[in-house]
Amino acid sequence: MATVNQEEKALRIETDCYQATIQTEGYVSGVSAGSFIDKRTGVSDLSFGLCIVDFLLEPGADDEETPADFRYHWGDAIHGDIPKRYVELPQICTQARKLPYEIVEDGGFVAVQQWFNWDSARLPYTGGSLWEQWLVFPDGVRWFLAYDKVTSVNAIDSLILRMDMPGHIKHQKGDDFDRIYLSYHDYISSKAFIEDFPPDASYLYQRQTGKIPKRFIRAYQLPNGTWLAGMALDPSIVYEAWCHQRGYVCMIQEIGGSPIRAGESFGAVHLVGFFESIEEMKNVFDTYQGAKTIRVETGGWTLET
């Protein structure tokens, strides 16, 4: 039976297949670093957190009048030669400090909803857009679901939400994992991530009309052979995805990137979990492919396309 134990600053989730922790204070959003533990094998994630959420962006470069606090830095080894501008801040994971939450329990699953309103913005935009995240932890499987939704208070030609998917990979010269699999690229040896390189040097995904991949899966293989994967169940929602070395493997992923009017929303459903093979990942992806939202009720949860 899936259960949740509420502590002062954390929610401890346990199903029949894994354990996971949600930090409600401190470094927030998603599943806490190293807390996603597979009961079958005993392995855990190597991340700073899974499904971690940042801020809102748009394409383009800042002008000279943009205040320093709202200036997005690019043209370096961290962000590459990919110009973007902040739309709304702060970065949720590091600066929200504390998130409200609601819990739904029904024996066969635990679901947790958290939310936050960005409170500052780069002109001409205003703060106040709402981010919501549902995390659903079902019994009987080695994965969980994350549904991130943004409701914008601004009208923007291309609004982007940045997150980590599934999560960054902490390692020492590639010794802590064996390889990475990107469904839109191929397998990559861990030894490709010994030296730092910017996101646009290698393995960069940028959405192109008519070239949306059939599946969108990003995974890494642990030394025991188990894979930890994150899947965007609607590949068309992914705007950009990085996989580069900056002291760790940076697995930034951005969703959205389409016009939006004030009061409108966009979002994405991701499936994150442990797998024994790429074939197993593909089969699970194909089962839930196309899901765009999650509906959670006391009696259960459903994916909707």
Q: What is the pLDDT of residues 150-185, one digit of tens each?
A: 999 999 999 999 999 999 999 999 999 999 999 999
What per-residue confidence (pLDDT) applies to 12? 98
Q: What is the pLDDT of residues 80-100, one digit of tens each?
A: 999 999 999 999 999 999 999
| Confidence category of residue 251, pLDDT binned at 50, 70, 90 | very high
Domain residue spans in the chain?
3-304
What per-residue confidence (pLDDT) applies to 106? 86
| Confidence category of residue 295, pLDDT binned at 50, 70, 90 | very high
For 44, the token pair is 């855990």
Contact between 145 and 304 under an 8 Å Cβ cutoff? The reply is no
Average pLDDT over residues 49-76: 95
Residue of 186 and 299 predicted with greater confidence: 186
* β-pair type (130-138, 252-260): unpaired
Fold of 3-304: Beta-galactosidase; Chain A, domain 5 (2.70.98)
Q: How far apart (Å, rounded) are the C-alpha atoms in residues 13 and 4? A: 5
User: Is the whole-model pTM more than 0.85?
Assistant: yes
Strands across the sheet containing 10-14: 3-6, 10-14, 18-23, 37-38
Average pLDDT over residues 214-234: 98
